[in-house]
Amino acid sequence: MNFKIALGFCCAFMSFFTACGGTSDGSNLELPDNLPPACREIDFVEQPDMRELCGVRTVHFKSYRNIPKERYLISPKDAKLVLIEDRVELRIPGNFPVELSGSIVKELQFDQNARLNKIRNQYEYYEGYKGASRKREDRIRAFKLSIPTEAGTKYEYCFRIPEKFGNARTRNQAMGNRLEELNCSEFDSISK
């Protein structure tokens, strides 16, 4: 009889300690999308007292492991790359997300240590007009992003920013821009 009671207590303690055990690599932390700039370079595993101040939550259920992981770029300001399942999105404030294709998805790291380091990308912006015209319809705004990976390769993406028409109450003005992909050779010829 004592053996059954002792066995019951052992099973209860084992299940309790197993259920309370957490991960120490930060994979159970949910970072908000609008993380303040002061909190972006904090290691929340090493400094758990900063979690509440920065709005970081601990996730207790495995079904919530599909939280997007992100890495910030040096420029443009507040731009970031977000890993969602098996795809990478470029998110720039004031624009809709753009999905990045190619093998950059496999070469970028989004673990806890990589999150603390900004990606040292290069950003080239061009603004001008077609020909001698100075009309709003003829304005060209474009940029080129060169994104290095941990594997040592550098990927270049070029986008054209379309002109916003309407006012602050119309949908296409209030919602943001849809960046249009541009061939980088075309960007080089425009920006010369």
CA atoms within 13 A of residue 81's CA, in its CB half-sphere = 30
**CA 21 to CA 186: how far, in whole Å?**
54
And the tokens for 131? 């020909």
- Which tens digit of pLDDT belongs to each residue from 64-116? 555 668 888 998 888 999 988 788 999 998 888 999 988 888 888 888 778 77
* Predicted TM-score (pTM) above 0.75: no
- Which tens digit of pLDDT belongs to each residue from 131-186? 777 777 778 889 999 999 888 899 999 999 887 766 656 655 556 778 889 999 99
Please check whether residue 108 is in contact with residue 127, taking contact to mean a CB–CB distance below 8 angstroms.
Answer: no
User: SS in 3 state form for 4-63?
Assistant: HHHHHHHHHHHHHHHHHCCCCCCCCEECCCCCCHHHCCCCCCCCHHHHHHHCCEECCCHH
